Every structure is written in C-alpha cells, then in structure tokens.
Chain A
Amino acid sequence: MSDPVDIRAPAPAGGGRLYDVLSLLGVYVLVAGLFAAGWLVSDEFLTTANLLIALRSVTLLGIVAVGVSFITYSRHYVDLSIPGIMALSGTVAVWALQYGFAASLAAGLGTGLAVGLLNGLAVGYLRLNPIIWTLAMGSVLSGLIRWAYAGKQIYPDKATAAGRAFLHLYHAEVFVRVPWIVTLRLPLVVLLLLGAAVVAHLLMRKTGFGAQLRLTGSSYEVARMTGVNVRRTVAIAFVISAGTSAAAGILLTSFNKVGAFYIGKGYDFAAITAVVLGGMTLAGGRGSIVGVIGGVTAIALMDNVMSLVRIGDFVIGEYLKQAIQGAVFIAIVGVHSYWLRKSGMDDA
C-alpha cells in the first residue's frame, strides 16, 4: 500500500496554521507600521534614547502579559486581580525589607503566588466565574492594603542596605558578555522579560502541561473527557499569572519608590489588550507567546508615538490615550471574531 499522504493531490493546509501565521504576521505588521508612523510624527522617535524609554516603559506590562496569557489560553479570559496582586506584592515586599532584601523579594512573590493559588482554587476547582471572582479578589486586596495602612503609603527605608537595594532593583543593569563578540549592558527588567517570555514559550509549546492547557482552552469538556486534570491545569494558569504579576508589582514598587494600593492600576486591561493584540483570542487555545510579545511591543510603540504627537497646541494626553487603548481592544476583538466566523473556524 502506498503512503496514505499521497492519496490526494496537494490540498490546502488546514486553517489552523494559516490563522497562527496570519495573526503573528498581523501584529508584527502593526509594529512595523507604528515604527513608520513614529518616524513620520517626530524626529525624536528613532533615537536610541526614545526607543529605550519605550522599551523600558512596557517591560513590566510585558511580564504581566506573558503570565496572564496562560489564563487567556485556557479560555478563562483574564485575571482582574492583577492590579491588586501587584499592589499587595509590592507593599508586602516593602514591609518585609526589615528582614532583609532576600526576605523582601520572597515575601512579595510568595504573597502573590498565594493569591494566585486562591484564584486557582476558586476558578479551577470550584469553577467560579473567573471575571467575577478575580474582580472581587482585586477589590478585596486593594481594600485590605488601604485598611492595613489606613490609606497611607509606605516607603522603603533608604537608611538600610536592604532599602537601598530595593530602590535600585528596577534600575539595576546587568552586563551580558558573549565571549569574543560583544558585551552588553542591559536593564535587569528587560532581561527578566526576556527570561519570562522564553520560559513561558517553552512551557506552552514543549511541555505536557502546555499541550493539555491548549486542549483545555480549546474545549474544557473535551479535555475533561480526555483524562486531563482540567481543574489543576486551570489552577496552574492562575498561579503563573499571579507569579508574574507579583514580580512586576515588586519592580513597579521599586520604580515608584513607594508601596501603595494604586500601584498596578490599569495593568489588567493593558495586559489583556496586549495578549489579544498578539493573536491570542479570548476564545482560548489559540495564539503564542511570540505573538503576545508582539502585542506588548505594539502597545509600547503606540503609547510612545501618541506621546510624541504635537499638532500645534494639541497633544494626546493620558486620558485620551486610555480611550484609544480601549478602542483598540474593542476593534481587535471584533476583527478576530469576524475573521474566525468568516473562515468557518468559529466553533463556539
């Protein structure tokens, strides 16, 4: 018998790969377009200084987005307690500075992971609605911080070594030496983002957990009826997201030099925008970390280009930026669902 693959003349590839390629291409075409727009809008745009600012400004968002993409991939949309986790982790880290720098980081991360575990138990095991549960969780967390510190902010103590180390954390730079080729001085946060992205990519694409997460995101019932431990899989996604949020929260607190309940505000929405912009649909089981990084880059450039726009006295302020970001999110979700329906790939 001949090889079964030869039975038919070359048929078109199934839509799956096509979708992956197109959505990836899409976000990077957008990135290129934004580059062109920035170049047109302002001479300042294509300077190393400006691009570094743009890059730095979204590294934390990138770290958060990489984590939350596991939740989106599992078809549980988003973790709305991200701002709460970021604020709590940062505040706890500042509080724990009295026990040393390492203890501070461990306490901050540990707190975030604990909240993630709680989210995972509630959404994964008790099957509570992820949006409602994490929305409530976010409210609880920010309320707790305000209550604990009576609405006041807490500051790292510059007099101690731990306090100085903490304040330096965000601005730390690392020498990366590739022998005989190049020695680079890179911000620690950029390296952390790269590290998180690589680990997340491998987790999603190369592990059994990733494969089962994809199945769960594609169809929860089918995954359950395939013997996947769906509850644990979903719970892990929430823990991962909380972990990256905690890390970003600690770094953001270091940058702001203050622990407060409002740290991390808006990161939930910005992160999900980046994730969706990167081709990871809210319907689950589609997209990739490479796309998410593209989405984060696009948001960074969009933000940067908007700051550089000056038409006479007109500048795009923070409020308008926020409105534009929301509109972009709506447009992307709309385009995605329209495209999937058109191509007959909408099974939901």
Chain B
Amino acid sequence: MSELGTALELRAVSKQYPGTLAVDEVSLLVRAGEVHALIGENGAGKSTLMKIIAGSFDDYTGEVLLNDKPVTLHSPSMAKAAGIAMIHQELTLAGPISVAENILAGRLPSRRGLLSRTALLREARRCLAMVGLEHLDPLVPAEDISPHEAQLVEIAKALGRTPCILVMDEPTSSLSREEVDRLFQIIRKLRRRGLAIVYISHHLPEVLAVSDRVTVMRDGRRIATKDTRDTAAAELVEMMVGRSVSDLYAERTAAPGARKLSVEHLTRRGFFHDVSLAVRAGEVLGLGGLSGAGRSELARSLCGIDPVDAGRIVLNGRAVRPRSYRSALRAGLAYLTEDRKAQGLALRLRMGENILSALIPRHCRWGVYSPGRGRGTLRRLVGALDITPPQPGRLVSTLSGGNQQKVLLAKWLATDPQVLILDEPTRGVDVGAKVVIHRAIAELADAGKSVILISSDLPELVGLSDRIAIMRQGRLIGEIDKADATEGSVLLAANGEGEFVRA
C-alpha cells in the first residue's frame, strides 16, 4: 500500500442533537490512497459523522484536519472548497437535465456569459472516462440512464472537482452483483491515484472486499479501527452489535395449515401477467426475483393500491376485489412498503401515532377517535419489537433507521392482518433490528397468519421462506421448496435459468 501521509484527520469530533449525543468524541485518521470503511449499526453515528465532514453542521465540536491543516467545515460549500466530495445514498442527479450538465452543475463552462457547449462536452467526457463510462452520451437526460450508470455519473460529478477525499454512503444499494464488481474496480483505480476514500456500508462482504482498513462505530463512539486483512466478518459484527450474533434466522415451530390466500391469473398490463399463487396459513411465501421483476407491483395490486386488469383474489375462501387500500385492509391484507421514508412513516409525527395510524377508523366511535384504545397494542408491540427508546411520544424521525423500520412493522402488525406482505422489511437496517424483525415474522407465521416476503437480501429470503416463488419480467416462472432453496438456486432462477424454472 502506498504511504502518502494523512488526508483527513478528525480529533475528538462531537455533534449533539437535541436529546442525543450522536457523535461522541470520535477521532479518525484516513490516509491518502486508502479505502477506509466505516461500519456500524443504524444509529451508530456514521451518517452524522459523514454529515459533519460534508459541512452540514455549523455546531460540531472538535478539530478536522485536511492534509495536516486544520479546516472549518461549517457549510457544504466550505467542505467542497476544502476538497471533500460526498456521494449520498440517494442519488442527486436532476432528471430532465443532461448528464453533462449534471456533472458540471455549479461550474458550467461559459464564454462571455454564454454556455460553451464544446467545453462542456469535453469536460463531461473527461469526468465520465474516470469512471469507465466513455461510451455514455453526455447529452442524454439523467433520467434515461440506468441506476448503475447514475451511480457512476454521481461519482464522475464528484471527481470533476478533483477532491482529495471521496466519501461514499452505501454506494451499492441499487446495484447488481456485476455492477458492484465494476464499481470496486473503479474504486481501486482511484485509490491508486492517491485519493482517500471513505466507504460507508452495511454490507460486510463488500467492506471486506474493497477496503484497506475498517473503523467500527457504535453508540456514537469509535470502537476500533482494524486492517481489513487482519479481521473477519464475525469479528466486525461482534464489534458492531457489542454481542455475538449466534443465529440470525429464527426457528419456526408450526407447520403450514389450510390455504388462506390464492391469486388466480392476476394481471396488470405492463407490470405483471397471469400470476397465480397460493399461500397457506402459517406459511411464509418468499417472492424472489431481480429488481423490476414486478414483485412490488404485484403486492400493491393485491392490496388495492394499484388497479388490476384481470384475475381473481380469494381470501379465506371468499373472492375479494380490493378497490382501495382501505378495503383491502378491512379484508385483512396489509402491505409494508419498501420506501419507509416516503410511504411508510410520517416522520413528523410521534412514534405512537405512527404505530396506531392505520387503526384510526377502528378506534373511532361516532366519528370520535380515542387513541387510548390502542394503548395496550402499543405497549405490546413496543415491547415485543424492542423499539428503543420505548417512548411513544417521541418523534419517529429521532429514532435510528432500524428502530424506524420496527415502528413500520409494528404499524402493520397492529392491524392484525390475515396476510401481511413485506417489501424489503430489513433494507438498510442494522443486524440487531434485523434479528428482531425476523423473529417477529416467524412468530406471525407461527400464529397462523400468512406472510408474503419480498426481499433482495438472499440469505434472508432463503432463511425465512417456507417456499420461494420466482418472478421474472412480470411473470411467475418457477417455485423452489425450502429443502432446495439456497442463495445460489434462487439467484439462478431469478435470472431465468436452472432446474426450478418452468419451461
């Protein structure tokens, strides 16, 4: 490894939020030419630490040194000027604008006040070449490129300002396996050029594959920094959770019973076609497939959120035709969205209000709403899902991501659904919350309810499902029993190959 000295140094940096010390005297050293991974459960303080570096706060304490010179990072523009580039988990490209203008946003080349098109193209091509996107036409609108390309364009945009530190927050969350490998090659190339890269991720295999050193955070503090060569996933997990995680997948006790939900020839043109499947009481049916295979769309139509063009839904022997999500909820179907922030939780409201929000009609008599009637449910769910801090009056936005996800699950468990459809129930949550959510799913099935699980987390899908139906390009193409389900067999089938795909 090239030793080029220190690129970024933090000395006892802290940041206080109302009520919590999110970052507690963290000291950290990132060398030039290294990939420094930063890991920790949700709420461990990684994101806040990165926001400090990105200049999001003007009230952090402690010292930040860039190339051994102290700097003040009180605004995003100060951070940019100091040579820090951030790549956020959510992409920040402006859809209708061309890739080139996105890359050069804020520093468009101009001549006598007019945009210089040739300079724009030249500079955009130079930036794109750095991330291996020479083939991309810089003039296409950013909304027309794939998520993978968008991620790389985002990096190109950051590199265009020739930063000395590149911070990447979960850059692989929307990428496929091959795309991740390509991204890693680019990261390695950048590292050789002496760029310091801070890489934030939940994904331990990726961290182990790409980083030189790993820093583990927990409860706002730095727990340890290790050379990646000298550590292993198990050790990192132990440091992240502060205890050893023995078994991630809960044991199931009850066997599936009678058929509860059947779907016959369900079609929504352009999204999914002729889908027939059945779920039994006490069964977890996994829905496997690549992103865009139509799984979420199927779930939304089952719950009346989106329309259906043809087909039938039978619940407990009775045909149901949900015209709205309201009527589906009343019939006993519930859908946990994959988009917690935009569609799942009202971040502006309290934790308790969120958990009881789907029950408002049930807790009404003559139009008068008594939230007090949900107090028992609330207490039971907060306890069962170990939501911390256990204060229903707290704003849900002040909870960590993992706990927010538990709140979202609690919201749907509170409706006591016959069939619960879970769309990515543990995306982006920490190991501890994952264990709790998995246990709750298993308990729900053991209590005789049906669960449909949509997940891109293959170990989770394989570990929790009794059966996995595979969707590809809007069609159900095969089914895998628990005995045959492995990450490999699911992945193969999702790509339309292997023995479990119906001819």
**Chain A: interface residue total (CB-CB under 8 A):** 40
Is A225 a contact partner of B348 (Cβ separation < 8 A)?
no
The reply to whether the CB of A7 lies closer than 8 angstroms to some CB of chain B is: yes
Query: Taking each of B324, B358, B363, B395, which has the highest tally of chain A beta carbons within 10 Å of its own beta carbon?
Result: B395
Chain A, 249-295, CB within 8 A of any chain B CB:
283, 285-286
- 9-residue interface stretch from A12-20, A296-304, A305-313: A12-20
The reply to whether the CB of A229 lies closer than 8 angstroms to some CB of chain B is: yes
Shortest CB–CB separation between residue A236 and chain B, in angstroms? 12
Is A345 a contact partner of B348 (Cβ separation < 8 A)?
yes
The answer to whether A207 and B371 touch (CB under 8 A), given A218-B346, A285-B346, is no
Chain A, 182-239, CB within 8 A of any chain B CB:
206-212, 214-215, 218-219, 221-229
Shortest CB–CB separation between residue B326 and chain A, in angstroms? 4
Is A1 a contact partner of B358 (Cβ separation < 8 A)?
no
Q: Which residues of B contact A343 (CB under 8 A)?
A: 18
Q: Which of A11, A12, A285 contacts B349 (CB 8 A)?
A: A285
Shortest CB–CB separation between residue A344 and chain B, in angstroms? 6
Q: Which residue of B lies closest to A14 (CB)?
A: B394
Q: Which residues of A contact B361 (CB under 8 A)?
A: 208, 227
The reply to whether the CB of A8 lies closer than 8 angstroms to some CB of chain B is: yes
In the docked arrangement, what's the CA distance between A161 and B460, Å?
79
Is B358 a contact partner of A226 (Cβ separation < 8 A)?
yes
Is B349 a contact partner of A16 (Cβ separation < 8 A)?
yes
The reply to whether the CB of B350 lies closer than 8 angstroms to some CB of chain A is: yes
Q: Which residues of B contact A43 (CB under 8 A)?
A: none
Q: Which of B344, B383, B395 contacts A15 (CB 8 A)?
A: B395
The answer to whether A206 and B346 touch (CB under 8 A), given A7-B390, A225-B337, A226-B357, is no
The reply to whether the CB of B106 lies closer than 8 angstroms to some CB of chain A is: no
In the docked arrangement, what's the CA distance between A17 and B19, Å?
13
Shortest CB–CB separation between residue A300 and chain B, in angstroms? 30
Q: Which of A12, A207, A219 contacts B347 (CB 8 A)?
A: A219
In the docked arrangement, what's the CA distance between A211 and B19, Å?
27
Q: Which residues of B contact A214 (CB under 8 A)?
A: 349, 353
In the docked arrangement, what's the CA distance between A207 and B411, Å?
20
Q: Which residues of A contact B17 (CB under 8 A)?
A: 344
Q: Which residues of B contact A (CB under 8 A)?
A: 17-19, 305, 324-326, 328-329, 335, 337, 342-351, 353, 357-358, 360-361, 363-364, 367-369, 371, 379, 382-383, 388-391, 393-395, 397-398, 411
Q: Would you give 26 A-B contacts (Cβ < 8 Å), ordered by A?
A: A7-B388, A11-B19, A12-B19, A13-B393, A14-B351, A206-B368, A207-B368, A207-B369, A210-B369, A215-B349, A215-B360, A218-B349, A219-B347, A222-B344, A222-B346, A223-B357, A224-B343, A225-B343, A227-B328, A227-B329, A227-B361, A228-B360, A285-B349, A344-B397, A344-B398, A345-B395
Going nearest first, the 8 A-B pairs with the smallest beta carbon separation are A14-B394, A208-B364, A218-B346, A12-B19, A347-B347, A14-B395, A218-B348, A227-B326
